Amino acid sequence: MGRGGVVAAGLAAGALALGRDRSADEASRVAGAQGRAPRRRSNSVLVKTSLIRSWLRALLDAGAKALALFALANLLLALFSARWDATWLWVQGGALPTGLVHCLAILFAVGVFFLRGRHPLLDLFVRGVALLLGVACLADAFVFYRLLAVGRITSSLPIPLSLFLAALLVGWAVVARPDPWRAGGGTRRALWVQVLDRTAPLWLAGVGLVLHLVLFGATSYARPADAAVVFGAAVRANGEPSQVLRDRTLTACALYERGLVGRLVLSGGRNPTMPLSEPQCMANIALAAGVPASALIFDEAGRNTEASIESVRRLAEVHGWGSVLMVSHDYHLARIQMTSRKAGLRVFTVPAVEPKRLLSKPWFTLRETAAWAAYFIRP
């Protein structure tokens, strides 16, 4: 082989060796990339899981603050009105003593806002109180389902609010941290974290109130009573009842036909521009449904919910009524129950039967949320 052949052979061998080295490097890089991909996916899953936990913890914390805020508001209102205590609205505790339930509610509210985060033992104490309240709410849920099982109540949406509250309180007691909004937030998130930390309890309280209106109103507590009260609604310009007024009146007539009540109180106001007052319009419906005139009691002073309940209170004193059924639409019943308890009445609420779906109900429910809050803060 000549000198040129030797050189060519050497160059070929070198190229072959270089190719093997590059192939080995490429294989090494591919193997490294394949090894790093699972690690990146694993890290991504861990980050997402951590984020979900942080948000769940933050949501539970906001819900606990909303509940504690309601308990504090109730405590302050009770100081101004000896007859008012709204703890029963969210927890009754089944067979637990009422005084114990009230003490737990107050301790929970004080603990959430003033004790938590000051010392590990105080944190443990507050979480223990929340856990006990959660058990009390579970007891309320058990009572609800027991009444449902024996037919004492009926419900189109058989989920008591106490079940949601039990999940909130127990969940918060298990995963609570001193400052969940700040966990992993970093300095960049400081501003929006603070905004959420301060506003989340308020909008969660609003969501909880809407949930209360919907769930409470879905349950009928119809049973034998001394009378049934029909709450008024709009009368049209031609003297015909609105759909709302017709539904409420016919529901009360059905209670009379079942023999649950012997008297119907037709409570409403009078619009001077209308040919009939609300009670007169309701009377026409009741008479057409077969209810005798002797069973009807007119209350034309019921211009609003509070006035109607005050009229019922006076009628109950005059006639010696021990219990009364209150008939209205589902979204209205929670405010009726709350106001009746303030007045010292023993009432049971019955939602109006709606043969035709009320299209404006979402708007009525939102409006009722504001009305309920206004009635709640009244002494």
pLDDT per residue, tens digit, the chain (379 aa), is: 454 444 444 434 444 444 455 555 554 554 454 555 555 556 676 666 777 877 888 889 889 999 999 999 888 888 877 666 788 888 888 777 888 888 999 999 999 999 988 888 999 999 999 999 999 999 999 999 999 999 999 999 999 999 999 999 999 999 877 654 444 444 445 566 667 667 888 888 999 999 999 999 999 999 999 999 999 999 998 999 999 999 999 999 999 999 999 999 999 998 888 889 999 999 999 999 999 999 999 999 999 999 999 999 999 999 999 999 999 999 999 999 999 999 999 999 999 999 998 889 999 999 999 999 999 988 7
- Pairing verdict, β 264-267 and 227-231: parallel
Residue type at 270 in one-letter notation: R
Helix ranges (DSSP H) in 157-189: 161-175
| Structural domains of the chain, with CATH | 64-219 (no CATH), 221-376 (3.40.50.620)
DSSP tag of 353: P
**From the DSSP assignment, how many helices (H) and strands (E) are in the chain?**
10, 7
Cα separation, 290 vs 253, whole angstroms: 8
CA–CA separation, 169 and 174 (whole Å)? 9
Residue 218 to residue 211: CA distance in whole angstroms: 11
What is the C-alpha to C-alpha distance for residues 255 and 266, in angstroms, rounded to an integer?
14
**Cβ–Cβ under 8 Å, residues 230 and 248:** yes
User: Structure tokens of 328?
Assistant: 């209205």
pLDDT of res. 50: 74
pLDDT at 26: 54
Phi and psi for 99 in degrees, rounded to 5? -60, -40
If you count them, how many residues does the chain have?
379
What per-residue confidence (pLDDT) applies to 58? Answer: 81
